[in-house]
Chains A and B, each alone.
Chain A
């Protein structure tokens, strides 16, 4: 095999890995994008809410074993999907009991529109979730093991029987499911009345207020839906990656990078932002040492923020 063919093979492998990972990043970014867009609140607990989604899926499938009856193929997927409604309810209550007290119209008169209180509240929630997770769920690394996660499909060979690449079956299945969820979500925000009003509110929160949308209710629903979507993404990630209670920290950064890349206030943009992050992360391994793949994300993130603050796919909403 010639060096150029090895390069091609490595490139294809990284590209596929990037797309597979990017689709899941895209889904979790969409969840955060809905919340950030509608509420304009920096929610540091988003990664930890996703962690809850991962553990929910694990308990539903392996821990309590209820869904194990569905077998190793459908079981983890159904568990991941069910994390959505479960965390929807959790997010709804969390907003109602805590978040709503420092957001929306209540804080209009506070300095900096109450951003300080929001930041510290979500940091507090993140601390409680991470450490509460440690306390109740234990610190050992957990993973959902199925026959799928240990096997792969070979694509190819082509270019004269030399080049081929592999797709881990669990990753492949999670990818397909994430596409289906993302597509349903796309139909929801473009076709339904509720979805359209959420998209309008994310695009222009102030105008939404003037048009008589009940702000607190819109926030609550956005927060709950965003939490649910991110939890589904978490459940899917859990079907092939090991996790522990602090896993949220790694993902919350990726999510914010994706949302800003996609353009603040653009829900569809957030998906492509997440996809971009996945691709950058995986493709950077071709030229950079593995330890620096996250640095590559931040460098790309900073470049985008400086050169195109409206995001790759959005329009500029920060006006003087």
Chain B
């Protein structure tokens, strides 16, 4: 997905397809095919609803029948009990679906992965039995003899097809709009790496809740319309597992994560199923399901990510794009100030981050115990210590991924306790990860844009900030490459750029030099020094001591989760306990030589 390219073309494509489909609707006289022409956009809309939540954010829902069924019963019961026309009933059904989205999403988003998927499965099935128990086994919508059009009842079936098409176009346009905004980008980032998205300042909970509300709204509306088309509602037909499965199947078959996927899936699968049912259904009961099942199996074996993505990959392969250029010479190498100047320049720096008495245990393991230190504005603080000393856990406590058992963290005088990572990022603390967490399917530029959202409300500005950050780390040439295709060094730079794009006051760098060659390390050191010279305070975890003594102004040494020593590199590297625990005799022998 690229935001800048092709801003208009998909909307033109929607207009063309809608016009062609409308023409087909007007031409078809056969009632049977008219029903098919109605059902294709109905299930495409349901697939689009599923896709907005599950396709973009990656949270697989087996429970979209909840929204669909609530919508269907809302329209039906309003018509029967209050005589309310579906013209009003369907918008109300949409609201009911949206409210159900909040009610279901709020508790369920605490779950992840399979738990989320299975919990979603339980909602419609519980509702199914409740509606049976309430006595709504089979509810028919009464025919309105007088003024049927006012009750959305038409003698001409083509009107239903046109209405279904209109609803699908609305859902499709909404999806395309989402894909091109920070809404869609944030959901994609969540799907690819939720922790990285949080650390980059994305409020993951809020975006997921928005997605399920919109998704429920669309599913509620189309469920209500479905009741109007079929005129009979049963709990099994609207809350049943097949309803949820149908939404998921059309979307996955066509290609999840793209607005076109559900439309393609529905356009192929619904006619296939209906034709099989119509032609062979009475002679060979079940043949429809068998062929349908086999079709799904075959497609998924040959195109596991769906037809849209497979086709796109094939087309892309034909116009083979050039591989991303090798990294240009780091622009910063020549302008690094010497260390002594920098130290003198910022001795007056005030305290930026104050950590006191911080502790965290996992079961019996005391990962971080009673850690206190301060970070002064503009300095480079190195955090060193043996493996398992609690360095990364400390970072996770500082940026809100973990909450401490006891202790305080104050940044610029404000307490950071209890803040989610995205709020910590908003306060101005950026973060990179020891095991790099890029969003592999996004381009390098889009990866960095996700980090820039926190700094600006306007998407255009976010792109400008992202470009500036890429320029700063020297990745401009690789901006269009996907993050999965670039080198280790470029991934490290990408993470750095993503953190920088949020305009942080302080950066937490977790083993940024890991896996780099000697020359690459030099370039990275130059870059970090330059960032510090520009006024960004740096806290860095690193194992490469030789690099660290040249980079850091001060060290904090951790061992077994506690602070072992703190001070200037010269002092700390001569400290007996530090040598004993971490540096080893070899280091001291060489240092004293």
Contacts and interface: CB of A to CB of B under 8 A. Distances in A.
Question: Do chains A and B stick together as partners?
Answer: yes
Contacts of B126: 294-295, 298-299, 302
A119 B133 contact: no
Contacts, number: 147
A308 to B, nearest CB: 11
Given A123-B248, A289-B133, A107 B304 contact: yes
Contacts of B107: 306
B285 interface: yes
B60 A134 contact: no
Nearest to B402: A320
A23 interface: no
B294 A294 contact: no
A104 interface: no
A110 B305 contact: yes
B122 A298 contact: yes
A214 B401 CA distance: 34
B241 interface: yes
A121 B297 contact: yes
B118 interface: yes
A79 B92 CA distance: 54
B110 interface: yes
B195 interface: yes
B263 interface: no
B60 A119 contact: yes
B121 A253 contact: yes
Q: Which DSSP category, helix, strand, loop or mixed, fits chain A's interface?
A: helix
B293 A131 contact: yes
A253 B305 contact: no
A123 B245 contact: yes
Nearest to B301: A101
B309 to A, nearest CB: 9
A69 B401 CA distance: 66
A305 B111 contact: yes
A131 B114 contact: no
Contacts of A318: 112-113, 115
Contacts of A124: 293-297, 300
Contacts of B121: 253, 256
A133 B133 contact: no
Contacts of A132: 286, 289-290
Interface in B232-273: 241, 245, 248-249, 252-253, 256-257
B305 A116 contact: yes
B564 interface: no
Interface in B115-159: 115, 117-119, 121-123, 125-126, 129-130, 132-133
B287 interface: yes
A127 B294 CA distance: 8
A201 interface: no
Contacts of A116: 60, 252, 256, 304-306
Q: In which size bucket is the chain B interface? A: 35 or more
Interface in A94-139: 98, 101-102, 107, 110-112, 114-117, 119-121, 123-128, 130-135, 139
B119 A302 contact: yes
B316 interface: no
A272 interface: no
B292 interface: yes
Contacts of B241: 249, 253
A292 B113 CA distance: 28
A116 B60 CA distance: 8
A40 interface: yes
A295 B117 CA distance: 18
A294 B125 contact: yes
Contacts of B195: 320
B58 interface: yes
A124 B60 CA distance: 17
Contacts of B284: 135
A320 B401 contact: yes
Report which residue of A107, A139, A249, A302 has the largest number of chain B beta carbons within 10 angstroms of its beta carbon: A302
A35 interface: no
A264 interface: yes
Contacts of A301: 119, 122
Nearest to B362: A319
A268 interface: no
Interface string A273-300: 0000000000000000101101100110
A305 B293 CA distance: 31
Contacts of B191: 111-112
Contact of B118 (A135, A245, A256, A289): A256
A219 to B, nearest CB: 16
Contacts of A133: 286
Contacts of A135: 284-287, 290
A292 B132 CA distance: 9
Given A124-B293, A320-B401, A291 B304 contact: no
Nearest to B55: A116
B288 interface: yes
B130 A292 contact: yes
Report which residue of A107, A116, A257 has the largest number of chain B beta carbons within 10 angstroms of its beta carbon: A116
B257 A120 contact: no
A29 interface: no
A42 B306 CA distance: 18
A305 B115 contact: yes
Nearest to A260: B118
A309 interface: yes
Given A120-B249, A125-B297, A253-B125, A131 B287 contact: yes
Contacts of B292: 127, 131
Report which residue of A123, A292, A294 has the largest number of chain B beta carbons within 10 angstroms of its beta carbon: A123
A302 B117 CA distance: 12
B441 interface: yes
Given A306-B110, A320-B195, 12 more contacts: A102-B300, A112-B60, A116-B60, A123-B293, A124-B296, A127-B293, A128-B290, A132-B289, A264-B114, A292-B129, A294-B126, A306-B119
Interface of B: 58, 60, 107, 110-115, 117-119, 121-123, 125-126, 129-130, 132-133, 191-192, 195, 241, 245, 248-249, 252-253, 256-257, 284-290, 292-297, 300-301, 304-306, 401, 441
Minimum-distance CB pairs A-B, first 3: A131-B289, A127-B293, A134-B286
9 contacts: A121-B300, A125-B293, A131-B286, A134-B289, A135-B285, A253-B241, A291-B133, A294-B129, A295-B133
